[in-house]
Each structure stands twice: as structure tokens, then as C-alpha cells.
Structure 1
Amino acid sequence: MGKLRTWIQIGFTALTNGYAAGFLKGKIYTGDFKKYCVPGLNCYSCPGALGSCPIGSLQAVIGSRNMNFSFYVVGFLMLTGAVFGRFVCGWLCPFGLIQDLLYKIPFVRKWKRLPGERGLRLLRYAILIGFVVLLPMFAVDIIGQGSPWFCKYICPSGTLTAGIPLGATNPQLRAAMGGLFLGKFALLIFLILLSVAVYRPFCRYLCPLGAVYGLFHPISFYRYQVNEELCTNCGRCREVCKMDIEVWKNPNSLDCVRCGDCLKSCPHQALKRKAFFRSQLQRVQTEKEV
């Protein structure tokens, strides 16, 4: 499953960031596809991006001086979360792929947890509420226009896939880059180095998109289920879980990125995928038999 997941991540990244001419010319694709969101964290300003990031789109709507409720963006987030949950994070997000590849670097001690782990995991919710919603809504300029605070001040995916490629091909933009870009670049380097030792630190501690999708885990169509009759609480699932989740206690944890390592490691086959439609079909069949 590990190799399959990696190839799906690579394929989806190539599909959603496949505008090669953008990288060659240092120009952003502005065609019709850019009107639509893609599931993962995918910077609008990336030269190769064919779609829009749902977090960036949400901030654009909230920060607009003529703000209207965007049924499309909110509906997209709710539908994607309700169907997949953080499966998107584990299988479809380009920046998740980058962190996964960095973690594969050998000869470095791997850390399951950092000091203050519980508090650090709450940061992504604070960023979601503060930088994605409240600041764009209330910290506005003289004409009532808000800024995309998360994209502007934090997002390392935007720095890596948009800021660096555009700066490398555009001398004027490169000359205009100041302290703000240097600060974001420093954060990116820090996260890259940390990703070698800690599995997905951005997803775990900072990503507001993962925070949104994780809220749907307990009710999403795609979720995990523990067979309590087969489970012996041996803890093997937690041993292989890079996010350090007690899977037998909470198989649908808000931190889970659905990598599937726990499924194949259970010695008693007590952990299964529970697809909503399949479970509903089984229930109907059982009722008919009765």
C-alpha cells in the first residue's frame, strides 16, 4: 500500500500542477480550470497549478469587501470532508507528498512526538480560526478589503511552489522580495528539516485544510472500524502509526491521514475500512434476510 499511495500522490500532483509552460515562462495559469478548487493544499500562484486551493479561495471570499457567502467553496470543503475526510491529506495533497518523501531520508533519528505535542496539535485549529477566518474578515484596509493572511504570512506550500519558482524566473519580482518572503522562506526551511525527523509536521501542527477535513472523520463516508471481538489491544497499530495514534481506541482520530499502515499491520485483522455505501448495502441485505 505504501508504494501505491506514493504513486497516486505523484500522479495527482502531476495532474493538478501539470501546466509545464507556467514553470518555463514564470507565468501563472489563468484558464477556465482555475475557477475550480482541487482537494489538497495547492497554491493558486504556483506556475503549474491548474486549479485553486480551497483555503486560498475561502480567504478570498471572506476578505472581499463585497463578501457574499460562497456556497461553492464552503460546499466543496463540506462535501470533500464528508466523503473522504483526511484521506485527501494522505493520498492527494502535493505538500503532503513532499513531507512523505523527506521523511524517507535515512540515517536520521525519527521522532514520534515533540515536547508539548498535545498543544502543538491544536495550533492548526487556531490558524484556521485566526488566520483563515477572523483576520481576513476583520483586519481590513481603508476600503474594507481583507488580506489572505494564511497564504501571505504562513503557507509553506505557496513559498515552495509559487514564491521560489516565480522569483527564480522574474527578476523584478525577485528584486521586490523583502523581509516577508525571507520569513516565510525560513519557515519553509525549518519545516523541511523537521520533516526529515518528524512525520508531516505541517499537516500535524499547522495545516488549516487538514483541520477542516479532520472534523468530518467521525462521520465521513470513508472511515475505519475496529472489530472489538478480534482486537486484543496489542498496540501494534500505534507502533506503526507515524502520527502516533492509539488506533484501537480512536480509529477515526482527527489526526489520521489514512495512510493505511495500521490496516496491514494488525495481526488479528481487527481493523477494517468502513465505507458508508458498503455498510448501508450490508444493512439492507441483512434486513432482507431477516
Structure 2
Amino acid sequence: MLKITPYLGILVLIVSIGGLWYPALGYFMLLIFAAIFLISPFRGRWFCGNLCPRGSFVDFWVSKISRKRRIPDVFRNLWVRLPIFFMLMGFMGYRVASTIGSYNTFEKIGMIFVMMCLVTTSIAIILGSFLSPRAWCSFCPMGTAQRLIGGKKYPLKLTKEKCINCNKCDKVCPMQLKVREDDAKPDCIKCGRCVSACPKDALQF
């Protein structure tokens, strides 16, 4: 992860709470969307593990109160994730479209983004507290989009000859992935914690 990653979580509170008084803060979400779609074709879900404010929030804040249970496999299922993606994006698009042309359009659209951030962050906190910090991230619509766009990009590579099967990489993975398996791991968020934890330098991107 980047040195700035642990501090990005404060942006979630600024937009979610401050946005209730200053709706223009909601437009920060557009910067997030732009960054996601610029980065994901080249590095997959790298944004999630390095620049995502909500990811930082759950990793370094919610993790302190999390029960750290296993993330249910159903959360990772694309048959669950895709309907959530289309419903959320469709609802947001409908709200924005129905607001255009009305009085005070700029602030109203900003508030739509603020409420979306507030609602999804609330869900992330609830799931992160009772399950695992990154439970929301396992089916986050933006994470799903990144997986579909660049899930095979910037893959994690294992040098099997160096691996001593200590299992440290699996233990530190915030997404609870089986790091040493040979599959592409499209939901790897490229945070690099497994690479840092490996005592034999058997992992690299």
C-alpha cells in the first residue's frame, strides 16, 4: 500500500457527514469514479487497496471493532454482485436524470452522491463490524466494475520454489483470498500486504 493509504479514510467522513451541510462535497465521488476507470484497465483493483477512502476507513478504523469472521462466499458470487451493481448504478442514474433541470440542480445532484456515499458507508460499517472489515469490498459495485475491466491485470506471482507454506500471506490478506493458489485472483486489491509478510520473498506483482 501507499504511505498515504491509512489516512484516506477521513475523506469518507468528510463527504458522508460534511456533505449533509455542503452537498458540493458529493462531487468528490466523481473524482473517485474517474480514478477507478482510469486505473482498473491497467492494474485491476489496485485502487481498492491503495487509494480507496472507504477501503482505508474499514481497514484502519472499522477493523478495530470488527469480529473478523469469514466473508461469506455468496458475497463474491457475480450472480449476486452484478444485480447489485446494476441496481445501484441504475437508481443513481435515475435520481440524477430526474433532478436535471429542477431548481438548484447542482446542489441536489451533489446530495445524491452524498447520500449514496453515506448509505454504502453505513452498510460497510455494519458488515465490517459483524463480519470482516473488507466484507463490503467483496461485492462493492465499484470493485466489481474493476474486476470486470482489469481483473487479470498486474497479477500477483508466486515463486513456488521459495514458498515454505507458512501461510502468513493468507493470514494478512484483507480480502481473505487464498494467496498461494494458482488462479488469477481478480479480486486481489494489490495492497501488497502478502508480499511484505512473506519471509522468503516468494511473492511479487
* TM superposition shift of 1:103: 3.0
Match of 2:176 among 238, 241, 244: 244
Structure-2 change in CA distance of 1:50 and 1:241 (3 Å): closer
Structure-2 change in CA distance of 1:99 and 1:243 (3 Å): same
Post-superposition Cα deviations, 1:194-242, rounded to whole Å, max 9, x if no partner, equal: 213412222112x121112123131x2x332111221234422112212
Q: What does residue 87 of structure 2 align with?
A: 131
Q: Which amino acid aligns with 1:82?
A: P
Q: Which amino acid aligns with 1:103?
A: V
* TM superposition shift of 1:159: 8.6
Alignment of 1:134-153 (within 5 A): 147=94
Counterpart contact for 2:39–2:46, Cα < 8 Å: no
Q: What does residue 44 of structure 2 align with?
A: 85
- Where do 5+ consecutive residues of structure 2 fail to align? 97-109
* TM superposition shift of 1:246: 1.1
User: Residues of 1 paired with 2:123 and 2:20: CA distance?
Assistant: 28
Counterpart contact for 1:235–1:246, Cα < 8 Å: no
Q: Would you tell me which structure has more helix in proportion to its own residues?
A: 2
User: Residues of 2 paired with 1:214 and 1:5: CA distance?
Assistant: 20
User: Residues of 2 paired with 1:96 and 1:159: CA distance?
Assistant: 22
Match of 1:26 among 8, 22, 39: 22
User: Residues of 1 paired with 2:170 and 2:31: CA distance?
Assistant: 35
Match of 1:109 among 56, 63, 67: 67
* TM superposition shift of 1:247: 0.8
Q: Is residue 2:138 matched to residue 1:204? A: yes
User: Residues of 2 paired with 1:188 and 1:132: CA distance?
Assistant: 14
Which is worse superposed, 90-99 or 190-199? Answer: 190-199
The two structures, once aligned, show a CA RMSD in angstroms of 3.9
| Percent of aligned pairs sharing the same letter | 27
User: Residues of 2 paired with 1:162 and 1:23: CA distance?
Assistant: 6
Task: Compute the TM-score of the two structures, normalised by the length of structure 1.
Answer: 0.51
Structure-2 change in CA distance of 1:25 and 1:125 (3 Å): closer
Structure-2 change in CA distance of 1:23 and 1:208 (3 Å): closer
Structure-2 change in CA distance of 1:188 and 1:264 (3 Å): closer
Q: Which amino acid aligns with 1:266?
A: C
Match of 2:73 among 110, 118, 130: 118
Q: Which amino acid aligns with 2:5?
A: R
Q: What does residue 98 of structure 1 align with?
A: 57
- Where do 5+ consecutive residues of structure 1 fail to align? 29-44, 55-72, 137-145, 150-157, 166-183, 274-290
Q: Is residue 2:156 matched to residue 1:224? A: yes
Counterpart contact for 1:96–1:203, Cα < 8 Å: yes
For CA contacts below 8 A with separation 6 or more, give which structure has more relative contact order.
2
Alignment of 1:1-290 (within 5 A): 5-7=5-7, 9=8, 13=11, 26-28=22-24, 46=26, 49=28, 51-54=30-33, 77=37, 79-106=38-65, 108-111=66-69, 113-114=70-71, 117-122=72-77, 123-128=80-85, 130-131=86-87, 147=94, 162-163=114-115, 185=119, 189-196=122-129, 197-205=131-139, 207-215=140-148, 216-218=150-152, 220=153, 222-250=154-182, 252-273=184-205
Post-superposition Cα deviations, 1:167-220, rounded to whole Å, max 9, x if no partner, equal: xxxxxxxxxxxxxxxxx85x7545313213412222112x121112123131x2
Instruction: Give the count of matched residue pairs.
Output: 183
Structure-2 change in CA distance of 1:194 and 1:127 (3 Å): closer
* TM superposition shift of 1:84: 2.1
Task: Compute the TM-score of the two structures, normalised by the length of structure 2.
Answer: 0.68
Q: Which amino acid aligns with 1:147?
A: Y
Counterpart contact for 2:45–2:190, Cα < 8 Å: yes
Post-superposition Cα deviations, 1:91-112, rounded to whole Å, max 9, x if no partner, equal: 1112222222333315x5321x
